[in-house]
Amino acid sequence: MAKLPTIILILTLLSTCNTYSNGCYTSIISFGDSLADTGNLKQQSTHSHVQAPHFLFPPYGETFFHKPTGRCSNGRLIIDFLAESLGLPLIPPSQGSNTSMVTELGQGVNYAVAGSTALDSSFHEARGVVNTMTNASLGVQLGWFKESLPSTCSTVSECKSTIGRSLILMGEIGGNDYNHALSAGKSIDEVEAYVPFVIKAIISTINELIDLGAATFVVPGNLPIGCSAAYLTMFYGSNKVQYDNSTGCIIRLNKFAEYHNTLLQTELNHIRELHPEVNIIYADYYNAAMQCFHSPDKYGFTNGALKACCGGEGPYNYNLSVACADPSSTSCDEPDTYFNWDGLHLTEAFEIL
């Protein structure tokens, strides 16, 4: 089966690190949302009154872990494959098995929380959008990391060298700033005006981490949201959107994602100029996914790339009021032949490519 740029990215990473003898990176520090959450929202919700999210129930996790783990997929996420390829164990969520935080860096800590945004909740609340899943924005996640430092290292230079040996996975983050606002009924034009603010939040977080000693980043861009079953369903039957005939995706929303990605890459280039010693790898999730939408069969997605494996039926097997894992949802028999897992998230089959 054809291989995608995600795996090429990992091979590039492995070949660029020869500084450290026993494996290049001693840990992974991860920030982001549901595309990287390995159990933080699960922990938060079991220790709060917030209703348990649907992805804590089967068939989530059926493919690899054989039980729900808090990952928004049938199986593993890109962060899991990244850890494996670097010879590291699966990266634990920062919200420990208790309400307490994992404070030791060890071989990695994952601060990503499903539902989180790049911008603080106050930005969205000022615009009438309340986050019902989590307020653990990127700034909150960075705060958790900084609070953990005293138990990981004792001097500034020791901290810098520890963080410098870590691979920082920065995202994907920002997608929910748009998802939540669009779901709340805001227009695409209005939400597009958030993009520069979202990019600024990501870039300032990267700069703070560089000041703390970070030397290697993987920064994923946004996915082609115009191809997601959730948006295809939201706009279904609307004459307001045009479709790309070769993929079936919504052109306007993919242009939106491209705009985010272009601005992100421009700002990453500025950081590279200012800090030539820092290695920043842009992870092109957008084009990796687009290859699947253009040639689903070539990558083994014989059930197409647009329809979700698990969901509430309808043309894309997605229904906002019948989420995957709800009693009346349906789940496909062969998730490996689907690109889209639950409407918004991807199957392990994509992540493994």
Ligand X SMILES: *[C@@H]1O[C@H](CO)[C@@H](O)[C@H](O)[C@H]1NC(C)=O
Taking Cα atoms as reference points, which of 187, 344, 204, 172 lies closest to residue 270? 204
Q: Binding to ligand X (CB under 6 A): which residues in 6-45?
A: none
Of 31, 197, 34, nearest in space to 115 by CA: 34
Q: Min. distance of Cβ 248 from ligand X in angstroms?
A: 10
Give the contact letters, 307-336, x = binds to ligand X (CB under 6 A), - = no: -----x-x----x-xx--------------
Please identify which residue in 19, 132, 157, 187 interacts with ligand X, judged by CB under 6 A: 132
Q: Which of 27, 30, 33, 34 is catalytic?
A: 34
Residues 239-268 within binding reach of ligand X (CB under 6 A) = 245
Question: What distance lies between CA 338 and its chain's CA centroid?
Answer: 19
DSSP state of 100: S
Give the 3-state secondary structure of residue 191. Answer: helix
Closest of 131, 136, 234 to residue 187, by C-alpha: 234
**Nearest distance from C-beta of residue 98 to ligand X, angstroms:** 3
Rounded distance between C-alpha atoms, residue 31 and residue 202, angstroms: 10
Helix (H, G, I), strand (E, B) or coil at 124: helix
Q: Which is nearer to ligand X, 113 or 281 (CB)?
A: 113
Q: What is the CB neighbour count within 10 angstroms for residue 254? A: 22
Q: Assess whether 342 carries a catalytic annotation.
A: yes
- Which range binds ligand X by CB under 6 A, 96-104, 172-180, 183-191, 207-215? 96-104
For the chain, the distance separating the N- and C-terminal CA atoms, rounded to the nearest angstrom, is: 9
Place of tokens 């009021």: 321
Q: Tokens in use for 227?
A: 């191809």
Tell me which stretch binds ligand X (CB under 6 A): 126-134, 139-147, 202-210, 269-277: 126-134
d(CA 90, CA 73): 15
In the complex with ligand X, the residue whose CB is nearer, 63 or 137, is: 137
> Contact 198/263 with Cβ under 8 angstroms?
no
- Nearer to ligand X (CB atom), residue 319 or residue 347: 319
| Min dist. Cβ of residue 247 to ligand X (A) | 11
Surface-to-core class of residue 157, CB atoms within 10 Å of its CB (0-12 exposed, 13-18 middle, 19+ buried): exposed
Binds ligand X (CB under 6 A): choice among 2, 130, 156, 274: 130
Nearer to ligand X, 49 or 277 (CB): 49
| Cis geometry, peptide bond prior to residue 5 (ω within 30 degrees of 0) | no
C-alpha atoms less than 13 angstroms from C-alpha of 193 in its C-beta half-sphere? 7
H or E segment and range at residue 30? strand 27-31
Nearer to ligand X, 9 or 114 (CB): 114
Stretch that binds ligand X, among 19-27, 79-87, 128-136, 274-282 (CB under 6 A): 128-136
Site residue total, ligand X (CB under 6 A): 18
- Whether 73 sits among the annotated catalytic residues: the reply is no
Phi, psi of 31 (to 5 degrees): -125, 145
Which of 239/245 has CB closer to ligand X?
245
Q: Contact 315/304 with Cβ under 8 angstroms?
A: no
Stretch that binds ligand X, among 95-103, 214-222, 290-298, 336-344 (CB under 6 A): 95-103
Helix, strand or coil, per DSSP, at residue 106: coil
Token readout for 46 is 């079991």
Instruction: Pick the binder of ligand X from 41, 79, 112, 133 (CB under 6 A).
Output: 133
**100 is an interface residue for ligand X by CB under 6 A:** yes
Choosing from 74, 121, 141, 261, the residue that interacts with ligand X (CB under 6 A) is: 121
Shortest Å, Cβ 95 to ligand X: 12
Task: Tell me which of 34, 74, 116, 134 binds ligand X, using CB under 6 A.
Answer: 134
120 is known as an active-site residue: no
For the CB of residue 338, give the shortest distance to ligand X in the complex, in Å.
Answer: 19
Least CB distance from residue 245 to ligand X, whole Å? 4
**Helix (H, G, I), strand (E, B), or coil: what is residue 23?**
coil
| Residues annotated as part of the active site | 34, 342, 345
Enumerate binding residues for ligand X (CB under 6 A). Answer: 50, 97-98, 100, 121, 125, 130-135, 245, 312, 314, 319, 321-322
